Amino acid sequence: MTETTLTISSFDVLPNSTIKPSALLRHMQQVARDDCDQNGCTYSFMREQNTVFVLTKLGLDLYRPLREGETLTIRTYNNRITGIVFDREYDLWVGDESVGRASTYWVLVRYDTRALVRPKDFPFAFFSYEINDNAVEIPRRFGNEDAASVGERQVRVSDLDENNHLNNCAYADVALDALPDFDGLSHAVTGFRILFENEARLGQILSLSAKQNDATAGVRAFNTTTQKPCFDSIWRFEKV
């Protein structure tokens, strides 16, 4: 179990000074890396085993918008392993105030082939806390089948991470950029769910569809290069 405390900076926020979902996800990604490192399972060790983690689904709820200048504490821990799926949980505070939580679900894959790896076949014993708290609910389907086409997005070098694919955090930017009515001024994001269906790589083209109302929105992407779905997502907003 690892936690970090940081100040939400000017480069973390939208025009209305509330935190960008992608910025929050980047801070969460780093504390997860720190947690794995402190427990002896470093990224370099995993790459030596030709193995990496990939995210399959994520759910995050904020109890209120988070703003520039606030001091945010993020705690994470590997909660349980069910079959091939790792459940990593997050708790968020500002001071003594609980401001949000998140649930993320991961699998191990071979770096070169992306073939699934069972935890029992990996040379590291992961500790699980088995805390029976309330995980963030993530539905199997989001009902975005009738979303309207809003254009295309090509995967760029700046979108990539060490796994050489579209970084988990960048999905949030891709989704919000696809919403024609979201300008980062009148609303803050207070929750979202993302299903990561198939990875996207450099130069591949994502066909984006979206639907939006006052408080919620849906965004999905289809990879026209590979002819596979890339991600599906739902977003919740609050007026500010």
CB within 8 Å of 182: residues ≥ 6 apart:
176, 212, 217, 237
pLDDT of residue 126: 84
DSSP state of 64: S
pLDDT per position as a tens digit, 57-92: 999 999 999 999 999 999 999 999 999 999 999 999
User: Between 1.10.287.610, 3.20.20.70, 3.40.50.300, 3.10.129.10, what CATH number should domain 2-239 receive?
Assistant: 3.10.129.10
Helices (H), ranges, 130-218: 170-177
Quick check: 214 pLDDT over 90? no
Domain map of the chain by residue range? 2-239
13 vs 133, more confident: 13
Rounded to an integer, the average pLDDT of 29-49 is 92
Phi first, then psi, for residue 93 (nearest 5°) are -135, 155
pTM of the model: 0.93
Element (H, E) at 98: strand 97-110
